[in-house]
């Protein structure tokens, strides 16, 4: 081992195995050699292949890989969470619907529903429910014509559709004869009620509630019936009977020219014309349907011309069960919601009480719409003032196409005391008598002299199209023979 003296004051020992040679700018340098100058800065690199530097790993690529992996994991977690949330939401809605159905079952006065609903009784077993619920339809068998809109509301829209194959309603009434688009008897014209895309969860629950109600309502010829529904695995759809003539209010306004002079007529030459007998027939059919409602212990709460649908054969069917409720001891109380103010009974406006008697009041307003060809009731009264208006004893005036006997019946439906109002059975009996007493040859109702003069001016007003118009001279003679004190004449 060599000893070297540095700067005369220090010594150092050099290991012979240490290689003191370094490479600088391609030249070999020994820093311990005397009189050797090393330029600054000095960078040295160890010699030999064992000391050569290996390739560097990019930190940026590593960071990118970590971010991609973490993002993928987060995306998968969000997807799984969303799927679980949708399943929980669907199960929650099913449980709510089961609760509603159970409430109807517990409060019904008697009898079983027309068709069982195992889906509601076991909402957790979806596969079994889809098979055992007789009302459930296969989406493949339903064609919806979205170019043929029948009606719409705030959250739902109704389209015309065609159902092929099995018709669940035929399980209730095998003798029913449904309209078809063609000669194929396996297809049925239907109406399909569905939600808008922007409809919220509350609207979905309302539609499911309506489906549940219609399952329990069963079938009646003067009540709109459900044909089937789709509730499993898809947005809920309600499939109902198709009524070619639409709602009664629109029908009345289209046919004003059949009854009122100088009214614009949108009718085509081959369109059927309505008669007074037709109007009274609609009134009878609606009363008949509401009797069925009462037998089921239901309150409609929205009896109006807009909620009566008319088939191609002029059969009236009560519809729109959005406000319909099952009565508790014949009385239902509500504290909120949108309600038809001008059709509501006095106690409904002042105390929010609804009963079969309040439906009778609304039916009287319906008769006013019917015999005025669709006039709005109380057109000059603000809805906020309706309660005061009725408390002061004001009622709707007698329509021009309404005789005294019928108007007297209407006024009874607007009695302030619900106990003084007639029942729907009594109303149907009265209408039966009026229809039987109408002149068979012309289908006339007993009318006032003013009404007869109006008929002579129009020519054929109120008459079936197959009969000729009455001779104006005959009407004039009858006018003269009429007792001045009694303005009613009978044709």
DSSP character for 51?
Answer: G
DSSP character for 378?
Answer: S
Please list the active-site residues. 302
What is d(CA 10, CA 345) in angstroms, rounded to the nearest whole number? 120
Contacts of residue 141, defined as CB under 8 A and 6 or more positions apart, other chains included, come to 163, 164, 165, 166
What is d(CA 145, CA 158) in angstroms, rounded to the nearest whole number? 10
The tokens describing 442, both together, are 């012309």
Helix axes 276-295, 356-371, angle to 10 degrees: 170
Residue pair 446/437 in contact (Cβ under 8 Å)? The answer is yes
Exposed/middle/buried for residue 121 (C-beta within 10 Å: 0-12, 13-18, 19+): middle
The tokens describing 118, both together, are 């195992």
Q: What residue has token string 């004001």? A: 394
Q: Which of 292, 304, 296 lies closest to 425 in space, CA to CA?
A: 292
Q: Which of 296, 316, 294, 313 lies closest to 304 in space, CA to CA?
A: 316
Residue pair 421/360 in contact (Cβ under 8 Å)? The answer is yes
What is d(CA 321, CA 206) in angstroms, rounded to the nearest whole number? 10
DSSP character for 44?
Answer: -
Residue pair 333/352 in contact (Cβ under 8 Å)? The answer is yes
Find the radius of gyration of the CA atoms of the chain.
42
Q: What residue has token string 């530097």? A: 53
What is d(CA 281, CA 233) in angstroms, rounded to the nearest whole number? 43
Q: Which of 310, 340, 308, 306 lies closest to 323 in space, CA to CA?
A: 340
174 among annotated binding-site residues:
yes
What is d(CA 251, CA 234) in angstroms, rounded to the nearest whole number? 34
Strand runs labelled E in 204-258 = 226-230, 237-241
Q: Which of 210, 224, 120 lies closest to 169 in space, CA to CA?
A: 224
Residue pair 193/205 in contact (Cβ under 8 Å)? The answer is no
Give first-to-last CA distance, the chain, whole Å: 149
What is d(CA 345, CA 337) in angstroms, rounded to the nearest whole number? 16
Q: What residue has token string 């159902």? A: 163
Known binding positions for ATP: 174
Known binding positions: 174
């Amino acid at each position: 081992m060599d000893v070297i003296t540095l700067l005369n004051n220090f010594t150092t020992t050099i290991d012979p195995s240490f290689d003191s040679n370094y490479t600088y700018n391609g030249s070999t340098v020994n820093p311990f050699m005397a009189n050797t100058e090393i330029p600054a800065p000095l960078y040295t690199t160890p010699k030999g292949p064992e000391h050569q530097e290996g390739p560097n790993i990019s930190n940026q690529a590593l960071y990118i890989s970590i971010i991609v992996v973490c993002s993928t994991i987060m995306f998968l977690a969000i997807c799984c969470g969303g799927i679980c949330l949708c399943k929980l939401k669907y199960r929650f809605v099913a449980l709510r619907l089961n609760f509603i159905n159970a409430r109807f079952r517990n409060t019904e006065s008697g009898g079983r529903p027309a068709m069982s609903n195992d889906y509601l009784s076991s909402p957790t077993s979806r596969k079994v429910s889809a098979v055992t619920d007789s009302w459930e339809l296969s989406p493949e068998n339903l064609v919806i014509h979205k170019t043929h809109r029948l009606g719409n509301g705030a959250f739902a829209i109704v389209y015309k559709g065609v159902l092929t194959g099995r018709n669940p309603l035929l399980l209730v009434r095998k003798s029913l004869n449904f309209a078809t688009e063609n000669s194929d008897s396996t297809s049925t014209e239907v109406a399909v009620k569905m939600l808008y895309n922007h409809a919220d969860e509350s609207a979905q629950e309302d539609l499911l509630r309506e489906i549940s109600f219609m399952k329990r309502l069963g079938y009646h010829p003067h009540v709109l019936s459900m044909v089937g529904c789709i509730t499993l695995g898809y947005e809920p759809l309600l499939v109902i009977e198709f009524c070619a003539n639409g709602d009664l209010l629109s029908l009345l306004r289209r046919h004003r020219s059949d009854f009122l002079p100088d009214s614009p007529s949108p009718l085509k030459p081959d369109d059927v014309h309505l008669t007074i007998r037709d109007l009274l027939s609609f009134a009878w059919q609606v009363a008949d349907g509401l009797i069925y409602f009462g037998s089921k212990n239901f309150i409609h709460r929205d009896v109006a011309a807009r909620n009566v649908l008319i088939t191609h054969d002029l059969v009236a069917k009560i519809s729109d069960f959005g406000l319909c409720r099952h009565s508790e001891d014949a009385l239902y109380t509500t504290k909120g919601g949108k309600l038809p103010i001008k059709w509501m009974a006095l106690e409904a406006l002042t105390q929010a009480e609804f009963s079969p008697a309040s439906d009778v009041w609304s039916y009287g307003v319906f008769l006013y719409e019917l015999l005025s060809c669709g006039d709005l009731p109380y057109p000059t009264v603000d809805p906020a003032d309706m309660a005061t208006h009725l408390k002061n004893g004001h009622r709707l005036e007698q329509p021009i196409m309404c005789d005294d006997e019928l108007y007297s019946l209407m006024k009874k439906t607007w009695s302030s005391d619900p106990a003084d109002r007639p029942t729907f059975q009594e109303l149907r009996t009265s209408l039966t008598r009026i229809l039987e007493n109408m002149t068979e040859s012309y289908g006339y109702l007993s009318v006032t002299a003013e009404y007869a003069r109006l008929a002579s001016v129009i020519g054929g007003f109120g008459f079936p199209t197959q009969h000729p118009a009455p001779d104006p001279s005959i009407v004039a003679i009858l006018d003269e023979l009429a007792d001045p004190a009694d303005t009613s004449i009978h044709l």
